[in-house]
Amino acid sequence: MNLADIADAVKSYHPNADLDIIWGAYIYSAKAHQNQHRRSGAAYISHPLEVAFNLTRLRVDEQTIAAGLLHDTIEDTLLTAEELRRFFGEEIYRLVEGVTKISQIQFSSKEESQAENYRKMILAMSEDIRVVLIKLADRAHNIKTLGSLNSDDQQRIARETLDIFVPIANRLGIGWMKDELEDGAFMYMMPDEHESIRVELASGQNLRESYVEKVRAILENELMASGITGKVVGRSKHLYGIHKKMEQQGIKFDDLYDLTGLRILTTSLKDCYAVLGQVHSLWKPIPGRFKDYIAMPKPNLYQSLHTAVIGPEGERVEVQIRTETMHRVCEEGIAAHWQYKEGKKLKNQSMDQQLTWVRHLLETHKELKNPKEFISSFKVDLFSKEVYVFTPEGRVIPLQRGSTPVDFAYAVHTDIGDHCAAAKVNGKIVSLQYKLKNGDRVEIKTTKTQKPNRHWLSFVKTSKARGKILHFINSVEKEKSLSLGMALLHKSLAEYEVDPSEFLQGKVFDETLRSSGFANLESLVRNIGLGKVSTHQLIDKFLPREKN
Ligand code: MN
């Protein structure tokens, strides 16, 4: 891979791209990484080049390609963020900084619920979807070069890829990237299964290919005869896809019948259904295997018709039918929605399009069956109302945006909130009013003497913290008015030379209390404490009868 390949790739989809930015970034990156090597021994610059090439497959703009070339400079070289900003401007600087921030997240938890929080955190932290794309392109190269790492790192990175990055690639609809990440991780997570599927696939490869070629020729002739323009291509399932299918359906490799299938790409939506009719009239469809993802797109906007038929020689054949445009959307996902109008991208267009795309995604999803998970995991992107921070142990705690260390403390545990005395964020002491940022590592110092106070109510954000603080304040005030009321009552009774226990346990007192509107003695005494009931009036009421 060299820069000329990358420049050519960019030119092919964005003819007026400013290649100077890309060359400048390359020269800068090569210099910064000079004398550095990958674990494999290769010169370090080979990595940013591969990442940039992956990015061209997502058809991103020249700023993103440049940022891809520079993505490891802040973290791994002497180049400072300030220099980067000065040389390449705000936009590229922000992209590189975003990738650096994500790279510094440590994915330490193994719980599935935490994986979802990590994914949300990445999307929320990125603020610009291009940051996520660079991170994915980075991971797509790293997963292919795991071989030279030690086995602990291999396991960790493979796991992290499956748990965090594959679902993100999938949500963004980038089919090829999802498949590559899955296969790369699969090889290290389950080396035996990976190898056995690889060998089995290879052994039947020629037979399958010649069969697919036969079916392909028949279909192509049929299309031509009916005057439909379309491309018929063979397709093969990726290894991890095969593994998942075997697992989910509990079947052996030999029982899989969709290892290879055919895909027909048409030029219009109408043709999709016409072609489907042709396929079904040529070969008998297998019941229950037809799916119309054109009328009912998948959450990530994937659209296609799926069917399976009994083809020539009684073999089962899977067929997918979709338009060229739909095909681009399911391979490139979000990237398929970028346009370079008149060869030049309009200012801010990418952000606008991102928003349109995400909105479209949310709207489409409303009609789908289980929109909750998908929407809640996507909405954090760009419109985030939440902020994701770490406990010292590496758990991710989601909080409302604008939350403070006090909110964090209550989210972790009521006791920690109630005794929260000081806070450290990323190792530095901050005020309790500090506004938490995505990725902050928060540490709370508690003391036994610390108690919640009214002032906290002026800055806490979460209803949990607010509720707990109010609860504490109310119970303290209740306590105070009770003891004050009791003291006042005792004092007045002493003035009348009445024995308090005799007075309070007297029958008449009991009856009068009940008819006076107070639920019990405690509420009467509390009202004395609050100054709402006068002890003298109270005693006068009872005294003549009691004393006599
Ligand atoms: Mn990297």
Burial class (CB in 10 A: 0-12, 13-18, 19+), 520: exposed
Q: How far is the CA of 118 from the centre of ligand 1 (A)?
A: 19
**Residue 344: predicted pLDDT:** 46
Mean per-residue pLDDT, 424-433 = 95
Rama region for 471: left / alpha / beta (φ>0; ψ in -120 to 50; rest):
alpha
Query: What b/e readout covers 287-312, taking b as 16+ CB neighbours within 10 angstroms?
Result: eeeeeebbeebbbbbbbbbbbbbebe
CA distance 424 to 430: 6
**Residue 113: predicted pLDDT:** 67
Q: Which has more pLDDT, 104 or 516?
A: 104
Report how far apart, in Å, the C-alpha atoms of 41 and of each of 34, 147, 262 are: 13, 12, 41
Where do runs of H (alpha helix) occur along 226-323? 239-249, 269-282
The pairing of strands 442-446 and 420-425 is: antiparallel
Q: How confident is the model at residue 403 (pLDDT cuts 50, 70, 90)?
A: very high
Mean per-residue pLDDT, 195-224 = 90
| φ, ψ of residue 89 in degrees (nearest 5) | 85, 170
Q: How far is the CA of 136 from the centre of ligand 1 (A)?
A: 10
Query: What b/e readout covers 448-457, taking b as 16+ CB neighbours within 10 angstroms?
Result: eeeebeeebe
DSSP E strand stretches across 415-494? 420-425, 428-430, 442-446
Q: How far is the CA of 71 from the centre of ligand 1 (A)?
A: 6
CA distance 512 to 535: 14
Q: How confident is the model at residue 543 (pLDDT cuts 50, 70, 90)?
A: low
**Residue 336: predicted pLDDT:** 67
Q: How far is the CA of 23 from the centre of ligand 1 (A)?
A: 19
Q: Indicate whether this model's pTM tops 0.85.
A: no
Share of the chain above pLDDT 90, in %: 47
Q: How far is the CA of 347 from the centre of ligand 1 (A)?
A: 28
The pairing of strands 291-292 and 284-285 is: unpaired
Q: How confident is the model at residue 510 (pLDDT cuts 50, 70, 90)?
A: confident
pLDDT tens for each residue of 62-77 = 999 999 999 999 988 8
pLDDT tens for each residue of 439-477 = 889 999 999 999 998 999 999 999 999 999 999 998 888
**Residue 386: predicted pLDDT:** 79
CA distance 548 to 537: 18
Q: How confident is the model at residue 112 (pLDDT cuts 50, 70, 90)?
A: low
Catalytic residues: 75-76
**Residue 339: predicted pLDDT:** 57
Q: How far is the CA of 104 from the centre of ligand 1 (A)?
A: 12
pLDDT tens for each residue of 227-260 = 999 999 988 888 999 999 899 989 998 888 777 7
Q: How far is the CA of 70 from the centre of ligand 1 (A)?
A: 9
Residue at 398: amino acid letter: P
CA distance 468 to 465: 5
Where do runs of H (alpha helix) occur along 255-392? 269-282, 324-332, 349-366, 371-378, 380-383
Q: How confident is the model at residue 85 (pLDDT cuts 50, 70, 90)?
A: very high
Mean per-residue pLDDT, 11-19 = 88
**Residue 505: predicted pLDDT:** 76
Q: How far is the CA of 83 from the centre of ligand 1 (A)?
A: 19
- The secondary element (H helix, E strand) that includes residue 393 is none
pLDDT at 373 over 50: no
pLDDT tens for each residue of 262-311 = 999 999 999 999 999 999 999 999 998 899 999 888 777 789 999 999 99
The DSSP code for 162 is I
Residue at 195: amino acid letter: E
Check if the beta carbon of residue 390 is closer than 8 Å to that of residue 396.
yes
pLDDT at 342 over 50: no
The DSSP code for 299 is T
Q: How far is the CA of 19 from the centre of ligand 1 (A)?
A: 22
Structure tokens at 356: 């349109």
**Residue 524: predicted pLDDT:** 84
Least reliable range by pLDDT among 220-224, 294-298, 352-356, 451-455: 352-356
Angle between helices 19-32 and 81-103 (to 10 degrees): 80
Q: How far is the CA of 44 from the centre of ligand 1 (A)?
A: 10
**Residue 150: predicted pLDDT:** 92
Mean per-residue pLDDT, 76-81 = 87
CA distance 307 to 493: 91
Angle between helices 175-189 and 129-142 (to 10 degrees): 40
pLDDT tens for each residue of 24-60 = 999 999 999 999 999 888 999 999 999 999 999 988 8
For the chain, the average pLDDT equals 84
**Residue 242: predicted pLDDT:** 92
**Residue 103: predicted pLDDT:** 86
- The secondary element (H helix, E strand) that includes residue 260 is strand 260-266
pLDDT tens for each residue of 430-440 = 999 999 988 88
Classify the C-alpha dihedral 56-44-128-374 as positive or negative.
Answer: positive
Least reliable range by pLDDT among 57-66, 89-98, 213-222, 513-522: 513-522
Q: How far is the CA of 46 from the centre of ligand 1 (A)?
A: 10
